[in-house]
Amino acid sequence: MPTADARRGRPPRLTRKAIVDAAARLIRDHGVDAVTMRRVAAELDASPMALYRHVENRDSLLVAVLSREVESLVSPELPGEPAARVERIFVWLYDELDARPWVVEVLSRGDLYAPSIRWAVEEILAGLIALGLSPAAAVDGYLTVWRYLVGTLIIRHRTIAATSTLDREPVQTSSMRGADAADFPLIAQTGTYWPRARANFDFGNGVRAIVAGLTAV
C-alpha cells in the first residue's frame, strides 16, 4: 500500500538539487525577493528547518542558483589580441545577462557573487595588464566597464517594462526633439537622432571606447 507521502507526490527525500531547483523556479516566476527559506520549503512540501541540512542560509542558496546559471553557460571563443579579448568577454557577459535579468538584479546589489565566473574576471584583468595597465589600474578598468554593463542592462530592461504600456511617446524622446534651437542648438540639431541612437545602442562599441581610453593614458 502506498504511503501518505507517496500519495501526495512528495519526493522521497530532500536534496540540495531539489532546493536549488525550487529557488530557481521562484526567481523565474516571481523575482529574487520571492525567495525565502520558508517559501522554498513550502514549494517542496518540507519544513524550513529541513532546508538548513543542505544549504546554510538564503544567501548561500542564491549563490548556488547563481553558480549553476554560470556553469550552464557556454564560454566564448576568445581572440588572441588583448583588447579584442577583453571586449569579447564583456560582450558575452552582456548577452548572457541580458537573457537573465534576475542575475543582474542580484549582482547589482553589490553583495552576492558566483565564484564560477572568476575565470572571466581573470581573463579581463590579464588582457588589460597586457595592454599596459598596472594590476590596480586593471581592477579599476574592470570595474568601470562592469558598472557600464550593469547600468546599461538595468536601464534597458526598465525602459522596456516602462514604455511597453505607454500610449504616448516617452518624454525623454519628445523633450530632446522639442528643444529650443536658440537655447540648446546642439540638442535641437540632433533631436531627431536620439530615438534612433537609443534603439540602435551598441554595447560593444562602448566597451571598445572605454578600453581604448583606459589604455591611452
Task: Summarize the confidence of residues 17-42 as an average pLDDT.
Answer: 93
CATH number for the domain harbouring residue 59: 1.10.10.60
Same domain (yes/no): 207, 181: yes
How many C-beta atoms surround the C-beta of residue 192 within 10 A?
Answer: 11
Q: SS3 for 193?
A: coil
Same domain (yes/no): 121, 43: no
Number of structural domains the chain divides into:
2
- The reply to whether 193 falls in a domain is yes
CATH number for the domain harbouring residue 99: 1.10.357.10
Q: Check whether 12 has a pLDDT greater than 80.
A: no
- pLDDT tens digits, 36-60: 999 999 999 999 999 999 999 999 9
Please name which of 106, 116, 115 lies closest in space to residue 73, comparing C-alpha atoms: 116
* Domain extent for 42: 4-71
- The reply to whether 77 falls in a domain is no
- pLDDT tens digits, 128-149: 999 999 999 999 999 999 999 9
Residue in the structure block whose three cell numbers are 520549503? 41
Please name which of 1, 115, 127 lies closest in space to residue 68, comparing C-alpha atoms: 115
C-alpha to C-alpha distance for 90 and 32, rounded to whole angstroms: 24
CA 2 to chain centre: 45
- The reply to whether 88 falls in a domain is yes
Q: Check whether 7 has a pLDDT greater than 50.
A: no
